[in-house]
Copies of this chain bind each other. A is one copy, B any other.
């Protein structure tokens, strides 16, 4: 086997490369070289290598979160009477601490990046189970935005030969995955429709149970019309809504009430789904699926379509994201890609994640 070894040492001079032919008996150096770092790269490395800085907290937290993720699994197994040793594989997304899906200028290069912590090697060691982690990296390396990844699960679970379907997830932001009847993966479209629970949650914290407060009020039609005029809703996909778009500042500036917020949410979702007339079913997951008033308003704006919770198809509405990373780990273990390039913008479908034994 011909193997390349790469390292940059603590002197931060540059990258040592060795190309080595290795077999079970011997090892012979084919060639080697040192490629120096540009001064600005060296400076950037030294700036983050100071042990008194945030780097230390990230490194420690990466290991602590690895332990906490392992313990969360052990506890869940125990509480739900699933033997830990019956689990063959773990897919751990970790905790995102940075995500920049669109490339920016950095050290003279264009670079997109993402960072999840919760060390997979620690999870594997503490559970004794093969662990796949760092799912978003390979998609970004292949030119994608590293998100959304959920369309893969939607496609796998909800694709139908006969029915066009929309998988709708209502979290803080709402997003849809459109799966035409008989779709191939490249036919899948996915994007954020606009607000999910975010505005309503701010107006009735922690959340408006069953949409009772929204149901009791009245829509401010003038404000609604003004809000719906936002160019975001008519822009073609791909598009991503930021949490900052519907935060405290928005609520204050617009003077929006909870009934109008619910209506804005339902309408902007419906407008997006209406772009895809050949879809007969809307499968809802996420916290918003618990809001019966929102579900009614959504159904009212989507006549002719069946709107129902994903639990009807066996997918718990609150467990979808965790299920996604179980599925992605399964696919990676089989050596198959897990991103959907039409959703993330990647150049190609790639196998996601890294395995820790």
A residues at B contact (CB < 8 Å): 1-12, 14-20, 22, 27-35, 37, 41, 44-45, 47-49, 51, 53-69, 71-73, 75-77, 79-80, 82, 86-98, 100, 104, 106-107, 109, 111-115, 118-126, 129, 133-134, 137-138, 140-142, 156-157, 171-172, 243, 314-316, 318-319, 321-327, 329-330, 332-333, 335, 350-351, 354-357
Q: B63, A3: Cβ atoms under 8 Å?
A: no
A/B interface sample: 7 pairs, CB < 8 A:
A1-B89, A1-B330, A4-B129, A15-B72, A32-B322, A35-B68, A63-B112
Contact A93 B6 (CB under 8 A): yes
Whole-angstrom distance between the alpha carbons of A154 and B315 in the complex?
53
Chain B residues lying within 8 Å of A45, measured Cβ to Cβ, are 61, 65, 95, 97
Task: Select A8's contact among B57, B79, B94, B141, beta carbons within 8 Å.
Answer: B94
Do the beta carbons of B3 and A322 come within 8 Å of each other?
Answer: no
Chain B residues with CB below 8 A from A55, complex form: 54, 58, 97-98, 115
Cα(A96)–Cα(B18), bound, Å = 18
| Tally of this chain's copies | 2
**How far in angstroms is the closest Cβ of chain B from A153?**
8
Judge whether B9 and A321 touch: CB under 8 Å: yes
Main secondary structure of the interface of A (DSSP, over half): mixed
Question: Which chain B residue lies CB-closest to A112?
Answer: B63
Pairwise interchain contact A6-B48, C-beta atoms closer than 8 A: no
Instruction: Knowing A6-B69, A54-B53, say if A122 contacts B98 (CB, 8 Å).
Output: no
Query: Ordered nearest first, which 3 A-B pairs have the shortest CB separation?
Result: A5-B326, A18-B322, A31-B80
User: Of B16, B19, B76, B112, which is within 8 A of A82 by CB?
Assistant: B19
Q: Which chain B positions have C-beta within 8 A of A119?
A: 137, 141
Residues of B within 8 A of A316 (CB): 18, 29, 32
CB atoms of A126 and B97 under 8 A apart: no
A120→B35 contact, CB < 8 A: no
CB contacts (< 8 Å) of A138 on chain B: these are 121, 124-125, 356-357
Q: Across the two chains, which residue of chain B brings its CB closest to A57?
A: B48
A152 to chain B, nearest CB (A): 12
The residue that A141 contacts in the complex, of B10, B126, B354, with Cβ under 8 A, is B126
Q: Among B48, B120, B142, B351, which residue has its beta carbon within 8 angstroms of that of A354?
A: B120
- Which residues does chain B contribute within 8 Å of A142, judged by CB atoms? 125
Tell me the smallest distance from the CB of A147 to a CB of chain B, in Å: 11
Q: A88-B3, A97-B48 are in contact. Are A27 and B323 (CB under 8 A)?
A: yes
User: Once the chains bind, are A100 and B3 in contact (CB under 8 Å)?
Assistant: no
Cα distance, A17 to B326, chains bound together (Å): 9
